[in-house]
A and B are shown apart, each in its own frame.
Chain A
Amino acid sequence: MKRSMLYIAILFSSTAIGQKTLEDTIKIKEVKVESSSPFILKQNIDSIALDNPSNKDLGEVLARNSHAFVKSYGMGSIATVSLRGAASDHTNLVWNGIQLNSSSNGVVDFSLYPNLFMEELSLSYGANSLLQGSGGIGGVVEINNTVCFKKQQTISLEQQLGSFNFQSTQLKYQIGNSKFQSVSKLFYRTAKNNFSYEDIGVEGFPEKEVDHGNLMQKSFMQSIYYRPTNSWRLEAHYWYYFSDRNLPNMMTLRDLEENQKDESHRLSLGATKYFNQWTLKGQIAYLHDDLRYTNNGLEGVSESRNHSLRSLLDAEYQFKKWKFKGRLNADYEESFHPSLRRDLDRKTISLFTEASYYFKENLFVNIGFREEIILEEENFFLPSVSLNFKAYENIDWWWKLSAAKNVKYPNLNDLFWQAGGNPNLKAEESQQLEIATNYQKSLKNWKTKIDLALFYAEIDNYIQWIPSNLGYWTAENVRLVQTQGIEGGIGVAKEFRAWSNSLKLNYTYTQSINRTKDNVQDESLGKQLVYIPEHQANASYRFNYKDYFLNYDWQFVGARYLTTDNSSFLPFYQLSNISVGKSMQVKSNRFQIQASVLNIFDMDYQAIEWRPMPGRNYMLSLKWQLL
């Protein structure tokens, strides 16, 4: 019985276990964390980080709570994510199992994802992303929508006001019973982002104000969940997003005025059937993404459209000491842009199978295969293997050793952009090794969690756009890149009657090294890639006393090189944010007020060269919930 419980625990480890974070386990006593599960597989981000208004979008949540390096082009501006020293198009974003990366350039702009639109957020680093698809050489960020089947009707309305005319309104309405649930979400945000900065690009270094950074974003999400019987679960989600942003100027390009509009429709339908020993899940999604870019030097609009139809079939089965997992993906993608030679499409079929064998409760091996077929083009076979064990019978201390292969097939732009796209590009291939360990201990009202991972990977045929002799840039397989590093995390939480405290620390050391030398004068050999910091850390401290709370977030980003010979760099920066708040309950009304100071120490910094960033700024949030 105990064993089968464990198997079930592991079986649902990707969705259930581990989502209950340190914070939740303390606050909500009835939710137990299954202690003997190997959840070194993913890093789950606390729902408190998602709810904290000072984290304005998914990019900011990741920057302050994970090992991800988030490269932000400015306040409210584009933010891309790099994991484990890989490129930003090596980070996959998956929503309820469906990949959202752009078909044309492979990149995700994490500033366009409101935290309201997800109940769960987790990251799987390196080869741990293989279940969720290939291409995530750095890893995968997963966002999920979940619901609790109980009789309820709640309204939640939140208004946020911040410096630089920041206003954000969020509404969530949830209604349902034990069979049916509906969740509606509305999001509206405007900001001027007219902060001032010292312009070190012009003579005299005058104080200037960003005069072209305003934005308007609105979105809507509707989720419906239906559970006709205990063994069936159906769900449907529709997501509409519109964003209209003026991109803030670079310090050295005052006259450039850029505007970007993003519009997305995403529809996803899913069904899950639970049998005695196995589970079957199907999902189909239609994604429509439209990006319109203009600038004052450009005639007309540069419009890029991506349509895709993605589907997956998931099966999990357990039999005695075996556990099997399979996933079949079939994707159809289309890309349109005047600079693509023709309207392009791509069909991909992939099959992932994984078998786990349990020698005993605390020791199992995992062997997985992914077969990726890009129809009429290429196919890849990607094996993975891992050994998972607990060091001591009675101590919750897991180890994982793994090796895997991953591949990133070139994006449509890399292949077919006119001019410079290179149809002869080879796929980027990566071999990855990892040793990870996870230790947890709960003692009376203390709880401790320690994670440590060492990783090593090689990325061959690394694709970069380089200027050619013909006067334009071309995509080429130019490098062999070696990445290695350490990811460490500590979580400590303590509760005592009306008090509770928790502290989380993440530290990331990343080497991302070029192993190719073009000629004898090339000094990039053995050097760190540009814009990948070697050191990175963040910490978040939370303190609760009765209805009062305090949050302190600290983020450190080490120096980032600007040149491949590492001859110039941007210095490190560290940012601190503090929030205090109080919640109150009046009958079935619940109120919460929170005041935040962001960048408390008014740090003057550049995340990307010449892109101004805001100094100290403030935010106030009011939330009303009708339960």
Chain B
Amino acid sequence: MATNAWKKLHAQLKMAITVRYLLYLACICFLFACKEAEDTDPISIDQNSRQVLILNEGNFRSANASLSIYYPEKGSIEHHVFKNNNQNRPLGDVVQSISKISNRGFVVVNNSSKIEVVDWHDFTSISTISGLNSPRYILPISNSKAYVSDLYEDKIYILNPQSLSIIGTIDSKGWTEEMVLLNDKAFVCQMDSNQVLVINTQNDSIIKKISTNKSPSSIGVDQDGKVWVACTGGIQQDYPAIHIINSMNFQVEKSMEWPDVTKSIHHLSFGPNGRSIYYIMGDVFHMELGDSILSSTPLIPANGRNFYGLGIDSFNGDIYVSDALDYQQKGVVYRFDNEGKEVANFKAGLIPANFFFN
């Protein structure tokens, strides 16, 4: 009887050992499945070289936005600058824009509903302004005042960039996008409408609504002090267009439409002289001050590339265009000279969307 019990126990033990052995074997097999993680060491920023900051938007709700720095003189690039210089904390979900206000960087992280305030020299975090709804762009007005546009809030936030607190709001209805400041007036694109708001920055009140084509998204000022607005045309609702607005009487002086609702104009950008204008409409187009129609010949044809972001180097007029590829891998940044000749191309982060030239 006792031998039987012993035999049983022995069989159980054997089984248990076999099980353990199999699991152990399985674990060894899976060591092969382990992969090396990305480099996470802090990055030292070269302060002596010119920098092109690249905002890699990342995927919606994936918190994989990142900040890359490209050194045009050296042709080298650093990735994940924010993350690596902040103990591997991710930048957040959909980075939208960056503004420099007195040696601080204000990085707007749209879907994380926050603004990361960083030291401009090394991008280490100073503070995080949270509790915003869906912030998009920052327009510095003075040392103690900046406007923050928002997608969902129906308001423009008034931020004190020194105390880093929200000191007020401006009722604006709908989605506010890019903004520009000229003679104490802020011109604000209202993306889900067909108007540009004009705000008196002295008393933060809306003094005018200028009619445009559907979905004004990007805005800038030319050498003559005229305000240029590019409208995407919405979701096949209207023709894409560029309007030129007189900043004194707020009249639209010129409207240039592209008669095809399936196209969209975005990322209107100015060259360093304020006379050359660039934008994306599938391809990259170029026009000069004084042109009265939109060109049908692109400066840089996309040729199957998925042009997503555009920026002009304020130092030498180089054109930076990003290709988001399939939006799920590291995107490409193409650098062209001001005549559209390719100088370099390199990989940035996921969905490179906006540039800042330092």
User: Chain A residues in contact with chain B, CB under 8 A?
Assistant: 200-203, 205, 250-255, 297, 419, 466-467, 469-472, 478, 494, 496-497, 499, 501, 503, 505, 507, 518-519, 521-524, 530, 534-535, 537, 539, 541, 543, 554, 556, 558-559, 562-565, 567-569, 571-572, 574, 609-610
Binary interface encoding of chain B residues 1-40 relative to chain A, with 1 for a CB under 8 A from any of its CBs, else 0: 0000000100110010011001100110110111101100
Within 8 A of A (CB), among B52-92: 61-64, 86-90, 92
The answer to whether B125 touches A522 (Cβ under 8 A) is: no
Q: How far, in Å, is B61 (CB) from chain A's closest CB?
A: 7
Say whether A201 contacts B63, CB under 8 Å.
yes
A566 to chain B, nearest CB (A): 8
Contact of B38 among A200, A470, A568 (CB under 8 A): A568
Report how far A94 CA is from B32 CA in the complex, Å.
36
Residue-wise, chain B 304-347 has the 8 Å CB interface mask toward A (1 for contact) of: 11110000000000000001111111101000000000000101
In the complex, residue of chain A having the shortest beta-carbon distance to the beta carbon of B329? A565
Q: Does B128 contact A (CB under 8 A)?
A: yes
Residues of B in contact with A (beta carbons under 8 Å apart): 8, 11-12, 15, 18-19, 22-23, 26-27, 29-30, 32-35, 37-38, 61-64, 86-90, 92-93, 111-113, 125, 128, 130-131, 133-134, 152, 215, 232, 235-236, 262-264, 266, 280, 282, 303-307, 323-330, 332, 345, 347, 350
Q: In the assembled complex, which residues on chain A have CB atoms less than 8 Å from the CB atom of B32?
A: 535
Q: Tell me whether A523 and B26 are in contact (CB under 8 A).
A: no
Contact partners of B64 in chain A: CB under 8 A: 562, 568, 609
Chain A residues positioned under 8 Å from B264 (CB to CB)? 469-471
- Which 7 pairs of residues, A with B, have the shortest CB-CB distance? A565-B329, A252-B63, A558-B33, A564-B328, A535-B33, A564-B329, A521-B332
Q: Are B26 and A556 closer than 8 Å at their CB atoms?
A: yes
User: Chain A contacts of B332 at CB under 8 A?
Assistant: 521
Contact B22 A572, beta carbon cutoff 8 Å: no
Q: Is the pair B30, A558 in contact by a Cβ cutoff of 8 Å?
A: yes
Neighbouring A residues of B306 by C-beta, 8 Å: 469, 518
Chain B residue nearest to A505 in the complex (CB): B22
> Contacting B63 at CB < 8 Å: which of A297, A497, A610?
A610
- Complex Cα distance, B57 from A598, in Å, reads 37
Q: Given the complex of chains A and B, what is the CA–CA distance between A568 and B26 in angstroms?
A: 25
- Rounded to whole Å, the gap between the CB of A203 and the closest CB of chain B is 6
Say how far A430's CB is from chain B's closest CB, in angstroms.
21
In the complex, the answer to whether B89 meets A556 with C-beta atoms within 8 Å is no
Known contacts A253-B111, A559-B34, A562-B62: A519-B23 contact under CB 8 Å: no
Known: A519-B304, A524-B328, A534-B33. A499 touches B8 (CB 8 A): yes
User: Separation in Å of the A616 CB from the closest CB of chain B?
Assistant: 19
Question: Which label, helix, strand, loop or mixed, suits the secondary structure of the B interface?
Answer: loop
Given A250-B61, A505-B22, A537-B26, do A524 and B89 touch, yes or no (CB 8 Å)? no
A507-B26, A569-B35 known; A253 vs B232 contact (CB < 8 Å) = no
Could you give 7 example pairs across A and B, Cβ below 8 Å?
Answer: A203-B89, A466-B327, A521-B347, A535-B32, A539-B23, A563-B330, A609-B63
Instruction: Name the one of B33, B131, B350 contacting A559, with C-beta atoms under 8 angstroms.
Output: B33
The CA-CA distance from A569 to B37 in the complex, in Å, is: 8
Chain A residue with minimal CB distance to B325?
A522
What's the Cα separation between A328 and B19 when bound, in Å? Answer: 46
Report yes or no: B34 in contact with A571, Cβ–Cβ below 8 A: yes
For the complex formed, measure the closest distance between the CB of B275 and the CB atoms of chain A, giving whole angstroms.
Answer: 27
**Distance in Å: Cβ of A248 to nearest Cβ of chain B:** 13
Residue of A nearest to B265 (CB): A469
A200-B88 in contact (CB<8A): yes
- Judging by beta carbons under 8 Å apart, are B304 and A518 in contact? yes
Residues of A within 8 A of B92 (CB): 201, 252
Set of chain A residues within 8 Å of B134, measured between Cβ atoms:
297
A563 contacts B37, C-beta separation under 8 Å: no
Query: Which B residues are CB-close (under 8 A) to A499?
Result: 8, 11-12
A60 vs B152: C-alpha distance in the bound complex, in angstroms? Answer: 37
Looking across the interface, which residue of chain A has its beta carbon closest to that of B93? Answer: A252
Chain B residues in 8 Å Cβ range of A563: 328-330, 350
CA distance A472 to B332 in the complex (A): 21
Instruction: With CB as the reference atom, state the residue of chain B lying closest to A479.
Output: B326
Question: Most chain-B Cβ atoms within 10 A of its Cβ — which of A200, A297, A554?
Answer: A297
A201 to B215, CA, bound (A): 33
